[in-house]
Amino acid sequence: MTPPTATTTTTTISDLPCGCAELLQFINCRLIRDHQLIKDDLWVRNGKIINPEPVFFDERSKAHRQVDCHGAIIAPGYIDLQINGGYGVDFSYDKDTTEEGVRLVATGLVKTGVTSFCPTLVTSPNANYHTILPRIPKSIPNGAGILGVHVEGPFINPQKKGAHPEDCIQTIDKGLETLVATYGSLERIKIITLAPEKVSDPCVIAELVKRGITVSLGHSMASLSDGERAVQQGATLITHLFNAMLPFHHRDPGLVGLLASDAIPKGQTVYFGIIADGVHTHPAALRIAYRTHPQGLCLVTDAISALGLEDGLHHIGQLPMEVRRGKAFIAGTETLCGSIAPMDECVRIFRKATNCSTVYAIEAATLHPAKSLKMEQQKGTLNFGSDADFIVLDDDLHVLSTWIAGECVHRQDAQ
């Protein structure tokens, strides 16, 4: 066989220009693949991760450029299923600057290793949904990808409203018609958080699932049987486990009991978001969730507008919010209203708290969220044919660089 004759240039990540669209071969790296950390090269072309064998044997060519990673880890990009804003932007509150705000957050998130996210709207007036949802862009150049919107409410239980304004909470009294009237359209929605005990029409959840919307259970007083009934109707996710729901009780464990329920339909996995920011969820609670139902665990930030900002007064949705000592509260109270820890920090905190493997900690923020949205063929892995959304990490899981569709959108030494 005639060997490839194309010229290959070897460089380092720090020397590689952002926006490079060549056939790239990442060498001297360790990949998260098949639930393992393996020594292998990563090949990227046209925004996809590719199998190098056809390139070498069929095309008889080689990479235009080799990128030396100096032993670093390459992992899929982080996916955040629940984020309310950041960098001074609140997706629910800043309705007049939606496009600009989403753009600012999307370009900020890549510095934390997030390559895809679901902008999250908390319980709001109908008019806000009608204004904001159509304005959320579908893509942002050099920013994290937008998978669709997570509407957290307004169909929740007022007894577990958390930071949600009670006067905007609604009930589903006319089935799917109520949801369409509330949101204006379901087109941009990827996840809906609702309280299952407040859904009297058994067709609502099933109809949402048919439309490709993931139904998540949260802000709820639901019993375990309420939760099991919702899962049997198609719900597959729990919103920020342990937070804004009944505490675990041995006679009726509530939504938490879904992690060990024997009434889940065969072949269906219940996923759950969990906030590992060192504030919302005690390390022991993280360990309980991890050891009980590891395959369903999805790290989320639940980050608010104060992400990346200093202490002071801000807003979340319709409510004033205050950041004090690294925690976010409803102003004038001790009620937590969201996290200000970025995803890369959550991954590090989770790994330390649970003593899980590096691979598992990363998959909890990549593969598991992708599976919860049924997107694991495109996102959350480094498999051949998947989107070339990945991050380069050191052994302490700090982000060295972030890549989306095979292009470098952030590099630590370029800050």
- For 211, the domain range is 78-372
Do 245 and 282 fall within a single domain?
A: yes
Q: How many Cβ atoms from other residues are within 10 Å of residue 250's Cβ?
A: 6
E-strand ranges in 276-326 read 297-300, 312-316, 319-324
Do 307 and 404 fall within a single domain?
A: no
DSSP calls for 248-277: P-SS--GGGGGGG-S-SPTT---EEEEE-S
Do 94 and 34 fall within a single domain?
A: no
- The CATH number of whichever domain residue 410 belongs to comes to 2.30.40.10
pTM, two decimal places = 0.93
Which tokens in the block code for residue 48? 């996809």
% residues pLDDT > 90 (the chain): 80
Q: What is the pLDDT of residue 316?
A: 67
DSSP type of residue 7: -
Q: Does the annotation place 64 within a ligand binding site?
A: no
As a whole number of angstroms, the distance between CA 324 and CA 284 comes to 24
Which sign does the torsion angle of CA 193, 197, 201, 205 carry?
Answer: positive
> Residue 258 pLDDT > 50, yes or no?
yes
CB-based contact 272:218 (threshold 8 Å): no
> Residue 20 pLDDT > 70, yes or no?
no
> Residue 385 pLDDT > 50, yes or no?
yes
DSSP calls for 94-129: -GGGHHHHHHHHHHHHGGGTEEEEEEEEES--HHHH
Task: Report if residue 339 sits inside a domain.
Answer: yes
The one catalytic residue in 80, 302, 344, 389 is 302
Length of the chain: 415
Does 302 participate in catalysis according to the annotation? yes
Which tokens in the block code for residue 394? 């050191």
Do 38 and 128 fall within a single domain?
A: no
In which element (H, E) is residue 214 found?
A: strand 214-217
Task: Report if residue 128 sits inside a domain.
Answer: yes
Q: Does the annotation place 337 within a ligand binding site?
A: yes
Task: Report if residue 2 sits inside a domain.
Answer: no
- At 305 the three-state DSSP class reads coil
Q: How many Cβ atoms from other residues are within 10 Å of residue 181's Cβ?
A: 13
- The CATH number of whichever domain residue 115 belongs to comes to 3.20.20.140
As a whole number of angstroms, the distance between CA 170 and CA 326 comes to 32
> Residue 415 pLDDT > 70, yes or no?
no
Give 69's contacts (C-beta < 8 A, 6+ positions apart): 13, 26, 27, 28, 29, 392
Do 279 and 363 fall within a single domain?
A: yes
Residues 116-121: what's their mean pLDDT?
Answer: 98
Do 168 and 200 fall within a single domain?
A: yes
Do 53 and 118 fall within a single domain?
A: no
Do 164 and 59 fall within a single domain?
A: no
Residues 342-359: what's their mean pLDDT?
Answer: 98
As a whole number of angstroms, the distance between CA 205 and CA 231 comes to 9
> Residue 237 pLDDT > 70, yes or no?
yes
Task: Report if residue 377 sits inside a domain.
Answer: no
In which element (H, E) is residue 53 found?
A: helix 52-53
> Residue 381 pLDDT > 90, yes or no?
yes
Strand-pairing partners, residue 145, are 116
Q: What is the pLDDT of residue 3?
A: 39
As a whole number of angstroms, the distance between CA 34 and CA 359 comes to 10
Confidence of residue 5 (pLDDT cuts 50, 70, 90): very low
First-last CA distance in the chain: 46
> Residue 351 pLDDT > 70, yes or no?
yes
- At 197 the three-state DSSP class reads helix
Do 87 and 213 fall within a single domain?
A: yes
> Residue 211 pLDDT > 60, yes or no?
yes
CB-based contact 52:385 (threshold 8 Å): no
Q: What is the pLDDT of residue 246?
A: 96
Do 345 and 365 fall within a single domain?
A: yes
Q: Does the annotation place 250 within a ligand binding site?
A: no
Do 282 and 167 fall within a single domain?
A: yes
Do 123 and 227 fall within a single domain?
A: yes
Q: Does the annotation place 398 within a ligand binding site?
A: no
Domain tally for the chain?
2
CA dihedral 161, 285, 295, 328 (to 10 degrees): 40
